[in-house]
Chains A and B, each alone.
Chain A
Amino acid sequence: KAGVTQTPRYLIKTRGQQVTLSCSPISGHRSVSWYQQTPGQGLQFLFEYFSETQRNKGNFPGRFSGRQFSNSRSEMNVSTLELGDSALYLCASSGGTSGGYNEQFFGPGTRLTVL
């Protein structure tokens, strides 16, 4: 079974631009979560989608948004990029059924650099 894939793996943008990152979950997984990883902050939860609905959201400004498609693929968008948005963006997928625990499987991440 293929793992979680994220595209692109590396991205360089300039301040003020916007960016869209893509995540394809493991086949059959309906939950996709996004995290921002920076050296000082570690991993911070952005949001989680299940069956095209956002179920949870972290404490990030509205410039960060996401969506999930009917095939469970997910995208996250960051508008009006700031230097501080430079980070590794990780996507994780899980079975995501209600209640209980579903193991998260992480992709390799997209390294975003904002100049």
Chain B
Amino acid sequence: AQSVTQPDIHITVSEGASLELRCNYSYGATPYLFWYVQSPGQGLQLLLKYFSGDTLVQGIKGFEAEFKRSQSSFNLRKPSVHWSDAAEYFCAVGAPGTYKYIFGTGTRLKVLA
């Protein structure tokens, strides 16, 4: 069965510091992989996605993620965090052709001024 694990429930970083949010997945083949961000009172916004090809993908708002097949991971990174990045981040897995997406439980990011 597909599953997604985000081991960090909360992360606090200082503004300007680098950020890495972890995501591990379980799936028999290479799934579609996504990172979404949710600000308070908002729906989810897609940050970036991976289907195939280059394992380092660039997204919006200066985020990037790296797919590592050997580790079944798809970690999200940002070199310098801004206060406006404070939000909840979700990693998701989509099995090609199923139209069903499995989300992790989310990581809430707090940014210190």
Contacts and interface: CB of A to CB of B under 8 A. Distances in A.
Q: How large is the interface on A (under 10, 10 to 19, 20 to 34, 35 or more residues)?
A: 20 to 34
A99 B51 CA distance: 13
B80 to A, nearest CB: 27
Interface residues of B, number: 24
A44 B106 CA distance: 12
B99 A106 contact: no
Given A104-B46, A106-B43, A109-B43, 19 more contacts: A33-B101, A35-B103, A42-B90, A42-B106, A43-B92, A43-B103, A44-B103, A45-B100, A48-B99, A50-B99, A58-B100, A90-B43, A96-B99, A98-B97, A101-B32, A101-B96, A107-B43, A108-B41, A108-B43
Interface of A: 4, 31, 33, 35, 40-45, 48, 50, 55-56, 58, 90, 92, 96, 98-104, 106-109
